[in-house]
Amino acid sequence: MKLEMVDTRVQGRAIFPGFNHDGNFRFRTWTDYTTRGTVWFAIRRAGKDLVRVEVDEQSFVGSGYGVRAPQEGFVEIRMFEVAATAHRGGLGLHAVGLLRELYRDRPVCALSSVRGFWDAAGGIRHEHPEGSRYDAFFTFEAVD
């Protein structure tokens, strides 16, 4: 079956991610609203969410790690989750690849304590100067 990547934003007075409650996802904030600048994607198979992603299209994080944000900012992966029923199937790495392709002319980043996953996805790891009690900062160059 084919995977599809869907922008799930619902516009109105506030912006909602457009996700329904699903017990396969641990993060409960998938149904909260937020301000402009946040984009949500679902990687779906046969209409069922397998991966959910929250992206900030203009992030300037990284200075605490000695990394200077590009002038237009990073595309920051702020939340990323694979459904419990889809773990260990390579879908997370595939989803990162789809996002990088979508934003191919922009550098992408993520802050995460899950170092092995982001290393496997090809991220350049930057550790915080004060040690591993902080999440690592991962950067990905533009695809072009």
69/75 Cα distance (integer angstroms): 10
Residue 65 has a pLDDT of: 95
pLDDT tens string 55-111:
888 899 999 999 999 999 999 998 898 988 888 889 999 999 999 999 999 999 999
| In the chain, domain spans | 3-106
Q: SS3 of 53, please?
A: strand
Q: How far apart are CA 105 and CA 39, in angstroms?
A: 17
What's the pLDDT at 52?
Answer: 87
Task: Quick: pLDDT tens for 14-65.
Answer: 555 556 666 677 766 655 556 556 788 888 888 888 888 888 888 999 999 9
Distance CA 123, CA 44 (A): 24
Are the C-beta atoms of 62 and 139 separated by less than 8 Å? yes
Residue position matching structure tokens 């260990």? 88
pLDDT at site 1: 47
**Residue 119 predicted with pLDDT over 80:** yes
pTM value is: 0.82
Question: According to the model, what pLDDT value does residue 45 have?
Answer: 84
